[in-house]
Amino acid sequence: MGYVWDQLRGAIPLIVHGDPYIMGLLWVTLKVAVVSTAAALVVGLPIGLALGLGRFRGRRTLQLLANASLALPSVVVGIAVLLLLLPQGAFGSLRIEFTLQAVYIAQAVLALPFVVALTPAAIQGLPPGLLDQARALGAGRVQLGVFALHEAKIGVMAAVIAALGATVAEVGAVIIVGGNFQGHDETLASALLEQFNYTAHDPYATAIALVLLAVILVLIATLTLIQQRTGAVQFRFRTA
């Protein structure tokens, strides 16, 4: 216990006094989490809705692939994104390899499977006949999609929570595509990996770990509160 207290005594003042290095890591981490999760939602929600509401050949195969993509290793994603962004890659003309923009892309790719896989699962878990009733009342495609997202909001928010958690905690892709340059694209998780070693006991490693845990707790708790809020929203469908 004495060792733990020694680590905390060195780490807590760094946090309380707003150490510039740690605050910079916090800012980058929050930017990566917000931008990457938002990008995953913009791309993933329409795909998830199509899988959850659609009636087309190959839908089950696509859902199987979506579920399998939940196990994508972050290192593999990082390597794949980097190969595409290198000068000789398909998107090499963008010149964003080893930048924060590359980190946004890699983390969005890691978050995307959670949105694509969990959204249709939430929609398909709705009471039988609910969506058919909405169709019968004249709901168009957009109206039906909004209605389905509202009715399945607890499951959809679970997808958002999982996606956000992936963007905050995953580290392999950040290091590969961003280069982990201090002050530029280093996140709390990637900095923790760099700071920690088995011989030297740096209080910065403990401080970064504490801040990372606090960020995860606050973000997930906020989304969970939103998820559990109840509010009646009335939908009016035009009749045929």
Q: CA 112, 115, 118, 119 torsion: positive or negative? A: negative
pLDDT at 233: 47
Kindly list the structural domains of the chain, giving each domain's residue range(s) and its CATH number in brackets, ordered by start.
20-188 (1.10.3720.10)
Cβ proximity of 233 and 150 under 8 Å: yes
**Residues 15, 98, 87, CA angle at the centre, nearest 5°?**
175
Cβ proximity of 127 and 176 under 8 Å: no
Phi, psi of 109 (to 5 degrees): -65, -40
Cβ proximity of 97 and 85 under 8 Å: yes
Cβ proximity of 52 and 125 under 8 Å: no
Burial class (CB in 10 A: 0-12, 13-18, 19+), 161: buried
pLDDT at 240: 47
pLDDT at 7: 75
CB neighbours (10 Å) of residue 191?
26
pLDDT at 25: 95
Nearest one of 80, 47, 42, 77 to 63, comparing CA atoms = 47
Note the pLDDT tens digit of each residue in 57-79: 888 899 999 999 999 999 999 99
Q: Which residues of the chain have pLDDT under 70?
A: 1-4, 197-201, 230-240
pTM higher than 0.85: yes
pLDDT at 238: 55
Half-sphere exposure of 171 (CA within 13 A, CB side): 12
